[in-house]
Amino acid sequence: MRTRYAVERWYLVLVGLFLGACASGSGSARGGYAQSFDSATSGCRQTPAYCQAAVGEETVVPVVTRAHAASVGASLAGAVKLFEGDHQKDVEKLLKDCVEQASAEVNLRWFGGPPTAAQCAEQVGVDARGNPIRRAMTLGTEKHRIALRCIQERLSELRPDGFSVEQRYRFDRKSNQTSLLSEEEAQALLRQGRGDQLRGTVRPDLVIHGGDPLKAQAVYDLKFPCPGSNEAKWNDYPQEHPHFPLNQGEVYKRALRVMPVRVAPGWGLVP
């Protein structure tokens, strides 16, 4: 589905360029062809996700008839819904439902109900640096996993191809440039002992887009404060971190150019 969608996008690009060349007269037809080919190449550089999604297809996109272009255009018009109005409300209700259900499920399994402040503060281990791991952390990790699975399943029906879960981004604060980093690349760096190259990358829980994760329309991050009466705060970066003194929300805003929103049980949507 993703491959067909990416290739059809290029059909429309090339058809537009082809018709533009025809409209300018037969004398510019040769230049129009060269421009079409170069535009497709430039498009790959600017939005590599589309080209990567089409691996395995023909290198040169076939000629498209006007009738086929019209039918493709009609089908793509509704392929990814605009993120506004009732559709946005439906998505945000889905997010709130998933975090509420995940939180209730984990709390019931562990405590039979919401945990107390003392239970949240209980130490259950230590990390690689010897820092204590609190129950609140393990509960949050488990709730995150369940909520994201719920979101993935439900959004796949409501908004296919128009969202990314835990997409990793490189963000250079000096140049203000953002690029994509796949999970495969991230895991390869970790296996090679080059995990330090992931330092400074960001990984929002959910990015809503129209097919290109670099063109975010909305950003959501799930928070599970423990106990639930605690405020759902953005995490602050420590002093040795590349993004210090900013917090998580401020970096998301700079990297993705939209105002991120927290989603937390009992709190709902928190800008």
Of all helices (H) and strands (E), which one includes residue 249? helix 248-256
List strand residue ranges (DSSP E) for 173-209, in order: 177-181, 206-209
pLDDT digits (tens, 9 = 90+) for 227-239: 999 999 999 999 9
Of 189, 184, 214, whose CA–CA distance to 199 is shortest?
189
Question: Mean pLDDT of all residues in the chain?
Answer: 79
Cα separation values, 205 from 69, 233, 261, Å? 36, 15, 11
Nearest-5° angle of CA 82, CA 221, CA 196? 115
**Rounded to whole angstroms, how far apart are CA atoms 237 and 248?**
7
Q: Which two tokens stand for residue 266?
A: 């009992």
* Mean per-residue pLDDT, 179-187: 96
Give me the pLDDT at residue 229, please: 96
State the angle between helix axes of 2-23 and 29-46 in degrees (0 to 180), rounded to the nearest 10.
150
**Rounded to whole angstroms, how far apart are CA atoms 267 and 93?**
13
**Rounded to whole angstroms, how far apart are CA atoms 59 and 39?**
14
pTM beyond 0.85: the answer is: no
6 close to 44: Cβ distance less than 8 angstroms: no
Neighbours of 120 (CB within 10 A): 19
* Mean per-residue pLDDT, 190-197: 93
Give me the pLDDT at residue 80, please: 72
pLDDT digits (tens, 9 = 90+) for 239-261: 999 999 999 999 999 999 999 99
Range with lowest mean pLDDT among 46-60, 87-101, 103-117:
46-60
pLDDT digits (tens, 9 = 90+) for 51-74: 333 333 332 333 333 333 333 333
Say which residues have a Cβ less than 8 Å from residue 205's Cβ, sequence separation at least 6. Answer: 144, 148, 165, 166, 220, 221, 222
* Mean per-residue pLDDT, 20-33: 37
* Mean per-residue pLDDT, 18-36: 36
Check residues 15 and 89 and name the one with the higher pLDDT: 89
